[in-house]
Amino acid sequence: MKPSKTSKQWMREHINDPFVQQAQKDGYRSRAAYKLIEINEKDHLIKPGMVIVDLGATPGGWCQVAGAIMGETGKVIALDLLPLEPLRGVEFIQGDFRDEAVLKKLEESLQGKPVGLVISDMAPNFSGVSAVDQDRSIYLAELAMEFAFDHLTRDGSFLVKVFQGTGFEAYMKLMRTKFTRVVARKPKASRDRSSEVYLLGTGKLE
């Protein structure tokens, strides 16, 4: 099949993207790594010895950053439907995080340790129909928040990608009922034309 004009344009933009080029130089698996790096530098989320769960981790940019910052201390557990090439210091569980069998594996992996941070850079497979895609993205974000609230220790933090549009304000309002502080972040590595924004909830409420 001949590549479409849109896909050619995306590929050209991707190849010329300075963050893509920098990721290749720095050995990061995706340009998304710089989003977490910038947010962490500002908000100091990742702390030595903590347990971090990365939802929708593949290809591994975020858990790669988290693992490198923590070094030999703490634990990073990554979950995704797709396989993940092994990363040092990262334990990977393949499957749907809503699945009971996957959750059981997670509980076993935690070994009773509390989760201090849940991160989610998930996005749905886009259909091209904006209303449908927005609904899907909000639904994923809702599932991620539910997971975070169920597993985070008191005062734990939650970082999630959300697309601005229908349902965004309602999502943020709900998040404010679950965390002491909720702020929006738009890191430099997030393309200007993208409606994505990262919501950070700190201080999980009882």
Q: What are the tens digits of pLDDT across the range 120-166?
A: 998 877 777 878 888 999 999 999 999 999 999 999 999 999 999 99
Structural element, H or E, at residue 73: none
Q: Locate tokens 């050995």: which residue?
A: 27
Other beta carbons less than 10 A from residue 65's beta carbon: 23
- pTM (two decimals): 0.88
Percent with pLDDT over 90 in the chain: 65
For residues 147 and 118, the answer to whether their CB atoms sit within 8 Å is: yes
Query: Token pair of 75, please?
Result: 């634990």
Query: Token pair of 34, please?
Result: 């710089």
Q: What mean pLDDT do residues 31-36 have?
A: 93
62 in a known ligand binding site: yes
For residues 78 and 106, the answer to whether their CB atoms sit within 8 Å is: no
Other beta carbons less than 10 A from residue 174's beta carbon: 13
Closest by Cα among 145, 162, 143 to 204:
145
60 in a known ligand binding site: yes
Q: What mean pLDDT do residues 166-186 have?
A: 96
6 pLDDT higher than 50: no
Fold classified for 30-204: Rossmann fold (3.40.50)
The pLDDT value recorded for residue 66 is 94
Of 161, 173, 178, 204, the active-site residue reads 161
Is 161 tagged catalytic?
yes
10 in a known ligand binding site: no
Closest by Cα among 123, 125, 63 to 93:
63
For residues 118 and 144, the answer to whether their CB atoms sit within 8 Å is: yes
Q: What mean pLDDT do residues 189-195 have?
A: 83
pLDDT digits (tens, 9 = 90+) for 90-108: 999 999 988 999 999 999 9
The pLDDT value recorded for residue 115 is 96
